[in-house]
Amino acid sequence: MTASTYDPATFRPMTFHDAVPGFLEGRDTPRAYLERCLEVIAAREPVVRAWVTLNEEGARAAADAATARYKAGRALSPIDGMPVGIKDMLQTKDMPTEQGTPLFKGAQTKMDSASVVALRQAGAVVLGKTVTTELGMSHPGPTTNPFNPDHTPGGSSSGSAAVIGAAMVPAALGTQVVGSIIRPAGFCANTAIKPTFGAIHRGERLAFSQSHIGVHAGCLEDMWRVTYEMAQRSGGDPGHPGLFGEAAPRPPLKPGRLIVMESEGWAQTDPRTAEAFDRVLRQLRDAGVTLLRRQDSPLIEAFEQAIGDSLALCRDLCGYELRWTLENLVERFPTGLSDSMMSRLELARGMTIDDYRLALQKREMAQQAFAALAPLADGLVSLSSVGPAPLMENKAKDSGVTHTTGLPAYNAATSVLGSPAITLPLIALDGLPVGVQVIGQRHADAVLTALAQWVTAQIRPVAI
């Protein structure tokens, strides 16, 4: 099996919920399902290079245990037996956690992150660790885009996005501080959620004040099931109420009004991507959805202004919070970090605590401006990226940071806001996917998933 260009009319990702009836009726088994995944991995991994580590022996044992539970009528959850990938920023007790850097090559913590504990308790088959960029930032790993190996899969959840786009597994965990779930998911034709901030327990990743854990998947139902089952077992971050909603995704819900979010991305979007997005918006209007833009309300204009410098805001917040980790690494490994990471460190070294306090104040003001939009519309809609995945040698620069895996201009705002966002594979440009994201108010993840289901059912993907 080799890479093929993306055609939304024919692309079929790996899905899991539709296999469960076969498990229950004895026509299929989780072990057989896992073997099908491994066949695809064997065929495509030499080019896609999405996995850091595969634990095939452990996965087969877990799949056999799930098979026995289904046979006995005692499945642990709707995701019992589901093969999943884990971004290599998250700890796994049976595999190294290398965080995309040779400095941690082979590092074994012998611990599971909270999200991984929850997945195992739900019966999921933890198959392996997926490639991340260096320390989850900008410097890329070896992973290629599953639809064209000359292009990036995005980052930092590079491998998690690519394993879905390559139809290797039905779900994978990612993390996002700026744009690391939604943008690569859009580049790789995933359905993916960056939930409300704090909705999924981050485990050891609590050092960043806006780090999220989210789910890449082949479909909305698998995406929601994995998100829900994790949240029920691990809860949210300390001090946060966790994910709200029911075990099954809600029925499709038609939005009455949606706000078209421009953010910093609109001015940087390539013309053909903007044209394709306009076709998506026309379909929404034709279906009876009222679309509002910044000129339609002073509240929307105030919101756009509040998020207008989110990339620089994220740069400052992340740099200040990451500085102490980087200072320790530089002391231990003076030449071990990439030029990209060292530039982040130099920017952070120039910040004072008052600079950080100002950044926190700006973030709070943006969140307040966003909350004020709640009475105006059922949610927001925007692109997930400024265009298709750039070439692997891309060196886009913004706010003093080199973005080698694509510019997160449509993602920084939702990370700042802490709001849930779901990307849907609704656009294809020259055989590469581009995502469209729907965005909701905090703790409206279940409602947003229902809106996304309606959009998926009603909107024909646009191919140019």
Give the helix, strand, coil percentages of the chain, each rounded to 5.
40, 15, 45
Amino acid at 174: G
- The answer, yes or no, to whether residue 322 has pLDDT greater than 80, is yes
Those residues whose C-beta lies under 8 Å from the C-beta of residue 93, and which sit 6 or more positions away, are 109, 110, 111, 112, 116
207 falls in which pLDDT band (50, 70, 90)?
Answer: confident
CB–CB of 158/140 below 8 Å? Answer: yes
- The pLDDT tens digits of the residues spanning 15-32 come to 999 999 999 999 999 999
Number of CB atoms found within 10 A of residue 397's CB: 11
Copy the structure tokens of residue 323.
């500085």
Beta-bridge partners for 436: 383, 424
Does residue 396 have a pLDDT over 70?
Answer: no
pLDDT tens digits, 116-173: 999 999 999 999 999 999 998 889 999 999 999 999 999 999 999 999 999 999 999 9
**What's the pLDDT score for residue 403?**
75
Pairing of strands 83-87, 125-130: parallel
pLDDT tens, position by position, 53-85: 999 999 999 999 999 999 999 999 999 999 999
Res 6: pLDDT = 97
Which distant-in-sequence residues (6+ apart) come within 8 Å of 392 by Cβ?
140, 144, 150, 151, 152
By the 10 Å C-beta count (0-12 exposed, 13-18 middle, 19+ buried), 108 is classed as middle
Q: Do domains 17-234 and 257-307+362-463 have the same CATH topology?
A: yes
Please state which architecture CATH assigns to domain 17-234.
Alpha-Beta Complex (3.90)
What is residue 398's predicted lDDT score, i.e. its pLDDT? 60
The confidence score (pLDDT) of residue 138 equals 83
**Once rounded to an integer, what is the mean pLDDT over residues 277-292?**
98
Q: Does residue 397 register a pLDDT over 70? A: no
- Helical H segments across 243-381, by residue range: 271-286, 298-306, 310-332, 339-349, 353-371
Global pTM reads: 0.97
Query: Which band of pLDDT confidence, cut at 50, 70 and 90, is reported for residue 399?
Result: low
User: Which positions ≥6 away from 393 have C-beta within 8 Å?
Assistant: none
CATH no. for 257-307+362-463: 3.90.1300.10
Residue 4 has a pLDDT of 79
3-state SS class at 161: helix
The pLDDT of residue 233 is above 70 = yes
Domain ranges of the chain: 17-234, 257-307+362-463
CA dist 100 and 142 (Å) reads: 10
* pLDDT at residue 1 is higher than 60: no
Please give the Cα distance from 30 to 245 (Å, whole number).
Answer: 27
Q: Give the DSSP H or E segment for 232.
A: helix 220-234
